[in-house]
Structure 1
Amino acid sequence: MMFGKLHISRNKLFVISLLVAGSAFIAILFPQCQSNDTNSASNYKLPKYVDYNYDIKPILSDKCYACHGPDNNTREAGLRLDTEEGAYKALAESPDKHAIVPGKPHISEAFLRITSEDESIKMPPTSANLPLTNYEIDLIGRWIEQGAVFKPHWAFTAPVKPEVPVIEDSDWGSNSIDNFVLAKMVNAGFEPNPQADKNRLLRRVSLDLTGLPPDEKLMDKFLNDTSAAAYERLVDELIASPAYGEQMALHWMDVARYADSYGYQDDDIRTQWPWRDWVIHAFNENMPYDQFVTWQLAGDLLPNPNKEQILATAFNRNHKITEEGGVVEEEYRVAYGLDKTNTYAKGILGITMECAQCHDHKYDPFTQKNYYGMYAFFNNSMEKGLEGLVNSGPSKTPRMTVTQEDLKGILNFINKWDDQEEVSVSVMGERDSIRPTFILDRGLYDSPTERVYPQTPESVLPFDSTKYASNRLGLAQWTFSSKNPLTARVFVNQMWAMVFGRGLVASVADFGNQGDLPSHPELLDWLAVDFQTSGWDIKRFMKQLVMTETYKQSSEINKKHLEKDPENIYLARSKRIRLPAQMIRDQVLATSGLLNRTIGGPSIKPYQPDGIWEVSSSGRGALAQYVQDHGKDLYRRGLYVFIKLTLPPPNMLIFDASNRDVCEVQRQRTNTPLQALVMMNDPAILEAARIHSANLISDSPNKVQKDYIQKAFRQVLCRNATEKELNLLVEYYNEELDRFTKKREDALAFLKVGEAPIDNNIPQEKLAALMSVVHAIYNLEETLTKG
């Protein structure tokens, strides 16, 4: 089905959006400019104590490491500035000089070079286009004066649980998290926003924990509960909902690069969806994070593994797979192993190990040997690079078959299917003999050099082969060692970013030298250790986050917020964030009454533009042409929308959904006119507006239009419209009713969108006019944001 023509007055819709969004929307569009000029001495004040990790290392990493960092292949003049030993030792070209002399910047060659006016010796060289500001130069000078103390990279040191700050003369806070936040907030000169009203808080927490807006029954229940425990009871109810597992699984699908096709040219269908059902099940059963990841990395290597543990290993097999004739089998077998390595490093450890595939990492202490040592854990898989078209099918060797008998037993969480007796899933399996692993020159599959053995980066935590087996199970055990500095930090940061919109470490996928420093380092470590000692309890952790006063704050933005903290680093307010693509779909379906709440099962193909898969020769077999589903399958959650890797759903990509070809731990957020076009033209949204309107009228046929509009507004936004908002929407309704009365054919054409039957018992002009209003409510900025 082609997307329809525009049916809404753009000017009217824009006015409505501005009205509902309020002054905060205008402030976001036109923030006040700020001066960041640090070349003027009057504009900055040096810290009393200069810290290497937080003050100096970011400068060196950005401006110096490319030539004087950990990468042996790009290091110049034999000078290494990322280690104490390298920075202090005599210069290779001038043995009587040293780059850094602690306490003596006036004889530290590095400082003399960065302050020199002589272009022939100035560092960084002018040609590098990496000039240091006066502030950065003075900061380095003070650091050297204070002894030039080097410290290990903060993320590669195991977290220690710090003392919880005690805030005097304040009763703000629900748990320890708030103490850390408030201490930082007050120190920065901010104070917390008031708590959000119950309507907005209800919508926010429901979207965060289930991905769905609350229905009217839940609204009334929560708003009428005036007890002190009302909010906690609400949180417990949401976390116990089956929709919680779906919401949590959506993030993990991005991490695991889940898709429903193989992804290369001649793309064809694959059936990994039983693994998706397992992920939903695991989150709903509150499987501890260490077990959740261990089963996915190495469930097949556990003692006497059962089918559920083996199914979990499908996580490793979600990468792109070729079915093209004429390819070199070994090239693709290696590529699959590299993908597994990169996904593990990025998604679970939060480091950019893929940079060391072709050469030593330029910024982090990871060598090529480290990279291929980690790759060696995945290199002993039974997986083939190419099975050939003769063996083409929805899964690849090694595979596991799920039977009807399994559905009655250990795999009873998998949604039953009607048209198949069994389904196969690509899983992991280990060879009986060891396949040797070599460092690949420039990362080329056919250029092996030095042989390496399973190992992990020493800078993170050396791999103890006397304690752990040299296989994926040993790697999983190493991952969850109490001494591993990354695993807990990375996961709690991902969850924090999902809830608050920005990680405590903003670079969620990069905890290395080029990544962002944590905004609240003590809080991050407290959360990481607390999560570990709780038994890696995910539901407990999610409840901790949403129970905080930090989370409950209003999202109202004032002038000080915009001028001093536009990114909300100090968490002095709740952040307004546009909903993810799948949640936009889910919200519309849920509030219209169309949503099919079935959990799990095969992916579905909703409305898409005609010929969407025929624009290129990227599919064959079942994927040569897009064949839309019908009936109740059209109204399933966005989690279950079919993802063809060579042509992912465009309406979701426009709203920044992951295209799932690689691991992605945090989605981008963009604002483009195409997003408005999707909201105004997508048949799913127009159809939902029609059904929503029909339900309103048929449920209460004797009510006036104003009542219908108020009810629709509350169902979508979880609050009553103000008198001004309501009057504007009623005016819009009357305009549309007049238009459709004069041109009844326009009303009939408008109502035809979508496959759900039209209620002919309702006057068509009246239904079309109310549909226009509901459609406008769906398009409001407030509707598309969480905050």
Structure 2
Amino acid sequence: MSAASPIKYIILSGIVILVAGLFWKGFGNKGVTADKGISYNYQVRPILSDKCFACHGPDANKREAGLRLDIAENAYSALEGKDKYAIVPGNPQASEVYKRITSTDPEYQMPTPGSHLGLLNENEIALIKNWISQGAKYEQHWAFTVPTQATLPEVLDEDWCKNEIDRFTLAKMDKAGLEPSEQAAKEHLLKRVSLDLTGLAPSLEMQEQFAKDDAPNAYEKIVDQLISEKAYGEKMAIHWLDVARFADSYGYQNDDVRTQWAWRDWVIHAFNGNIPYDKFLVWQLAGDLLPNPNKEQILATAFLRNHKITEEDGVIPEEYRVEYHLDKTKTFSSGILGLTVECAQCHDHKYDPVSQEDYYRLFAFFNTSKEKGFDGSAGSGPAKTPVLTITNSEAKNLLRFINTKDTSKIVVSVMGENDAPRATHILNRGVYDAPGKVVTASALPAVMRFDTNKYAQNRLGLAQWTTSKENPLTARVFVNQIWQEIFGRGLVKSTGDFGMQGELPSHPELLDWLAVDFMNHGWDIKRLVKQMVTSATYRQSSKSTKEKTDKDPENIYLARGARYRVPAESIRDIVLSTSGLLNYEIGGPSVKPYQPKGIWEATTANRGSLARYIQDKDSALYRRGLYTFIKLTLPPPSMVIFDASNRDHCEVKRQKTNTPLQALVMLNDPTVLEASRVLAERLSMSPVAVENQIKEVFQRVVCRKPNAGEVKLLTDYYHEELATFSKHKTKAGAALNVGDSKHEPKADQVKAAALMRVISTIYNMEETITKS
């Protein structure tokens, strides 16, 4: 990812502060202060990484003139065959770097016009000059330093703070000249926290309960209630399913069904049972290598087997065996360490200190698996070697969290080690059949030394290295992912890239404080989540002012509450739960709800059990969004339109888009229309005045009381539709003819159809599917 955005942000911020006669202290003890001057990590490295490291960075194959600007010793050394130096600490005029970035001669200037990297602007040049003048001091990349807990900062309004998080965010606001927003109204706050913790809108009963509770700890009580619900594990699982690229088919052309859903049941169980994050990771990376592993620990390793698998005859097994382990390496590095190391498959990383040898030493941990590159053509089985077989008896006794549907056994693809060791080679140009130097397993040295006296050279050793409190990335990355899920934007915006090209943390001291606190409290995920949602920062109203929008359009300073559309799964869940259609069953096989006809048949190979889309019936139609069947070659259209992951690779951050297709889905999706019909038929039989029925629906769906204008508008619309359907009663029956759920035989079709149109309108309100 380009570092242009953070550079511009830092420079513009610096200009404002310099004009004001102040020093930038917003990055805590790592930023620019009167004593420390310009920070290499936060101001200089992003410029060098963006403009220079492509040719003068870690990649030896692309390095020009033998010059590395990412290492101090090399940057200070004489250039090849010349009595010149790239950087002379304290003397920019004698430094080739400064002379070349200020030159207008295309034959001499850097970056060269041919590199297409663009010239440095005046502010970037000034930063480089001042940094060299101040001694050109290098620092280790911030993400590779072990996090420490800074002293809680002083703030202007201590009474505002609910917990430690708020001291960091308020201190940042104070320095930026911003004030926090007022606390959100109770109804907005309840909807927000319910969506964040369960993915569901709060029920009418919960809304009424919270509205009446005037106790000082009323909000904390509702948070505890929501975290204790089974729906909490389902909501938390969604992000991890994205990380783990969970799907219900193998991918590739001959795309057939697979049975990894028992692992999804385990993930939900793990979040609900609050399994500590370090254990959560160790089991998924190496549960099979633990002493006397049980079936639950082995099942957890399905995390590493969720990648795409080919079933096509004629493939080269070794090519795909290597491909599967490359995928595991990427998932581990991006999803758990927050690093983009996959480019080192072919060459040294251009920006981060990860060599091609480092990459294949990490790859070696996975290269010892029993997994085959080809394990049979389509239809050969729902799981591939090695597998874990779970009997019905085990699912009902030892593994009771698995929601088995019948008496047949469950077969899951899991990890297992080869009986004989397999040599790992550096692959020239990353090609499976171009083996080079043999390497042994070791983790990334740039992150933390892998002590072979302490860690075995297998996946269990890697898992223990990963969950060491000395590992600078693991806790930071997970804390940032949870912050992103709750606040909509990570403290490090580039959630999957904590490397040189990643974004700088907006609140580095807060990120580090939370990471250390998380580890010191037993990697307790529920405690971390509660910490965030009970902060005053989280509780703020999302209403903004022109001053705040102008000063901080992205809400980086967190001076207002987050406001954004809920995830695709939650959109479905809101519609189903508020209409009364939702099936609250936890776990089990994936289901096939309504989907446009013919798209599987028209777009994928006409073979195997997934050649045709066979829609489910009865209660299976109304399962939560995370249980929707995902065929990798054609993910569920309505989910993808709302930015759900297509699950063909590890994804730690979903896109946020707004397109006309999303409006068309809400207007025409059978699930939305059926939910509107079911609720309308039920209410149409009530003797309650229609105006009050509309008020009830509005509060049930939008989670607040409608104002007088909204009530009038919707009531008038009801009467307009009622008049239309009264004249054309056959149209009423046609409007209600949607969905497989049973109709209310005693419902007045005309009234129900008119009310259905009103309810559909409420579902289509932007506020309904927005967390604000």
TM-score range, shorter chain: over 0.9
Q: Which amino acid aligns with 1:293?
A: L
The residue number in structure 2 matching 1:695 is 682
The residue number in structure 1 matching 2:104 is 117
Counterpart contact for 2:87–2:132, Cα < 8 Å: yes
Q: Find 2:659's aligned residue among 659, 662, 672.
A: 672
Cα distance change of structure 1 residues 458 and 214 upon mapping to structure 2, 3 Å threshold = same
1:116-135 map, 5 Å: 116-129=103-116, 130-135=118-123
Answering whether residue 768 of structure 2 is matched by residue 783 of structure 1, we say: yes
Cα distance change of structure 1 residues 727 and 93 upon mapping to structure 2, 3 Å threshold = farther
Answering whether residue 204 of structure 2 is matched by residue 216 of structure 1, we say: yes
The residue number in structure 2 matching 1:770 is 755
- SS of 2:62 mapped into structure 1: coil
Answering whether residue 178 of structure 2 is matched by residue 190 of structure 1, we say: yes
Answering whether residue 71 of structure 2 is matched by residue 83 of structure 1, we say: yes
Cα distance change of structure 1 residues 474 and 39 upon mapping to structure 2, 3 Å threshold = closer
The CA distance in 2 between the partners of 1:253 and 1:772, in whole Å, is: 35
The CA distance in 2 between the partners of 1:271 and 1:511, in whole Å, is: 33
Counterpart contact for 1:77–1:93, Cα < 8 Å: no
Q: Which amino acid aligns with 2:687?
A: N
Q: Find 1:615's aligned residue among 602, 608, 617.
A: 602
Answering whether residue 129 of structure 2 is matched by residue 144 of structure 1, we say: no
Deviations 1:287-333 (A, max 9, x none): 00000111011000000000111111111110000110000011111
The residue number in structure 2 matching 1:259 is 247
The residue number in structure 2 matching 1:6 is none
Bigger shift: residues 382-391 or 338-347:
382-391
Counterpart contact for 2:570–2:625, Cα < 8 Å: yes
The residue number in structure 1 matching 2:5 is none
The residue number in structure 1 matching 2:158 is 170
Number of residues of Structure 1 aligned to a counterpart in Structure 2: 750
Answering whether residue 430 of structure 2 is matched by residue 435 of structure 1, we say: no
The residue number in structure 2 matching 1:27 is none
Q: Find 1:571's aligned residue among 558, 561, 565.
A: 558
The residue number in structure 2 matching 1:589 is 576
Counterpart contact for 1:380–1:434, Cα < 8 Å: yes
The CA distance in 2 between the partners of 1:753 and 1:241, in whole Å, is: 32
Counterpart contact for 1:290–1:480, Cα < 8 Å: yes
Q: Find 1:710's aligned residue among 695, 699, 708.
A: 695
Report the Cα offset of residue 44 of structure 1. 6.9
- SS of 1:495 mapped into structure 2: helix
Cα distance change of structure 1 residues 503 and 275 upon mapping to structure 2, 3 Å threshold = same
Deviations 1:196-220 (A, max 9, x none): 0000000000000001011011111
Report the Cα offset of residue 725 of structure 1. 1.1
Counterpart contact for 1:39–1:134, Cα < 8 Å: no
- SS of 1:747 mapped into structure 2: helix
Q: Which amino acid aligns with 1:197?
A: A
Counterpart contact for 1:752–1:758, Cα < 8 Å: no
Counterpart contact for 1:39–1:135, Cα < 8 Å: no
The residue number in structure 1 matching 2:716 is 731
The CA distance in 1 between the partners of 2:132 and 2:205, in whole Å, is: 64
Report the Cα offset of residue 36 of structure 1. 11
The CA distance in 1 between the partners of 2:420 and 2:333, in whole Å, is: 25
The residue number in structure 2 matching 1:19 is none
Q: Find 1:238's aligned residue among 226, 244, 265.
A: 226
Q: Which amino acid aligns with 2:629?
A: F
Answering whether residue 668 of structure 2 is matched by residue 681 of structure 1, we say: yes
The CA distance in 2 between the partners of 1:41 and 1:183, in whole Å, is: 20
The CA distance in 1 between the partners of 2:193 and 2:9, in whole Å, is: 36
The residue number in structure 1 matching 2:303 is 315
The residue number in structure 2 matching 1:604 is 591
- SS of 1:290 mapped into structure 2: helix
The CA distance in 2 between the partners of 1:410 and 1:100, in whole Å, is: 64
Cα distance change of structure 1 residues 747 and 359 upon mapping to structure 2, 3 Å threshold = same
Answering whether residue 734 of structure 2 is matched by residue 749 of structure 1, we say: yes
Answering whether residue 41 of structure 2 is matched by residue 72 of structure 1, we say: no
Cα distance change of structure 1 residues 43 and 252 upon mapping to structure 2, 3 Å threshold = closer
Counterpart contact for 2:276–2:525, Cα < 8 Å: yes
Counterpart contact for 2:379–2:609, Cα < 8 Å: no
The CA distance in 2 between the partners of 1:569 and 1:122, in whole Å, is: 35
Deviations 1:417-457 (A, max 9, x none): 13x42111111111122100000011111000000110112
The residue number in structure 1 matching 2:364 is 376
Q: Which amino acid aligns with 1:219?
A: Q
Deviations 1:29-50 (A, max 9, x none): xxxxx99997999997586521
The CA distance in 1 between the partners of 2:302 and 2:709, in whole Å, is: 53
Q: Which amino acid aligns with 2:165?
A: I
Answering whether residue 261 of structure 2 is matched by residue 276 of structure 1, we say: no
Counterpart contact for 1:259–1:318, Cα < 8 Å: yes
The CA distance in 1 between the partners of 2:149 and 2:664, in whole Å, is: 49
The CA distance in 1 between the partners of 2:81 and 2:295, in whole Å, is: 63
Counterpart contact for 1:501–1:577, Cα < 8 Å: yes
Q: Which amino acid aligns with 1:314?
A: A
Q: Which amino acid aligns with 1:285?
A: G
Cα distance change of structure 1 residues 343 and 563 upon mapping to structure 2, 3 Å threshold = same
Counterpart contact for 2:233–2:268, Cα < 8 Å: yes
- SS of 2:730 mapped into structure 1: helix
Report the Cα offset of residue 126 of structure 1. 2.4
Deviations 1:670-698 (A, max 9, x none): 01000001110100010001112122233
Q: Once superposed, which parts of structure 1, at least 4 consecutive aligned residues long, lie more than 4 Å away?
A: 34-48
Counterpart contact for 2:681–2:748, Cα < 8 Å: no
The residue number in structure 2 matching 1:445 is 432
The residue number in structure 2 matching 1:532 is 519
Answering whether residue 154 of structure 2 is matched by residue 159 of structure 1, we say: no
Report the Cα offset of residue 620 of structure 1. 2.7
Answering whether residue 385 of structure 2 is matched by residue 397 of structure 1, we say: yes
Q: Which amino acid aligns with 2:734?
A: A
Answering whether residue 394 of structure 2 is matched by residue 406 of structure 1, we say: yes
Deviations 1:706-729 (A, max 9, x none): 111100000011110001111111
Counterpart contact for 2:357–2:439, Cα < 8 Å: yes
Cα distance change of structure 1 residues 390 and 277 upon mapping to structure 2, 3 Å threshold = closer
Q: Which amino acid aligns with 1:86?
A: N
Report the Cα offset of residue 404 of structure 1. 1.2
The CA distance in 1 between the partners of 2:701 and 2:183, in whole Å, is: 21
The residue number in structure 2 matching 1:385 is 373
1:351-500 map, 5 Å: 351-389=339-377, 392-418=380-406, 420-500=407-487
- SS of 1:424 mapped into structure 2: strand
Question: What percentage of residue pairs aligned between the two structures are identical?
Answer: 59
Counterpart contact for 1:38–1:133, Cα < 8 Å: no
The residue number in structure 1 matching 2:281 is 293
Bigger shift: residues 688-697 or 132-141:
688-697
Q: Which amino acid aligns with 1:316?
A: L
The residue number in structure 1 matching 2:326 is 338
Cα distance change of structure 1 residues 497 and 390 upon mapping to structure 2, 3 Å threshold = closer
Counterpart contact for 2:255–2:378, Cα < 8 Å: no
Counterpart contact for 1:258–1:660, Cα < 8 Å: yes
The CA distance in 2 between the partners of 1:622 and 1:391, in whole Å, is: 7
Cα distance change of structure 1 residues 367 and 408 upon mapping to structure 2, 3 Å threshold = same
- SS of 1:686 mapped into structure 2: helix
TM-score by length of 2: 0.95
Counterpart contact for 1:38–1:134, Cα < 8 Å: no
TM-score by length of 1: 0.93
Greater length-normalized contact order (CA 8 Å, ≥ 6 residues apart): 1
Report the Cα offset of residue 565 of structure 1. 0.6
Report the Cα offset of residue 381 of structure 1. 0.4
The CA distance in 2 between the partners of 1:128 and 1:721, in whole Å, is: 58
Cα distance change of structure 1 residues 623 and 97 upon mapping to structure 2, 3 Å threshold = same
Listed as ranges, the gaps of 5+ residues in structure 1 are: 1-33
Deviations 1:44-91 (A, max 9, x none): 758652100111011111111111111111111111111111211111
- SS of 2:412 mapped into structure 1: strand
Bigger shift: residues 462-471 or 588-597:
462-471
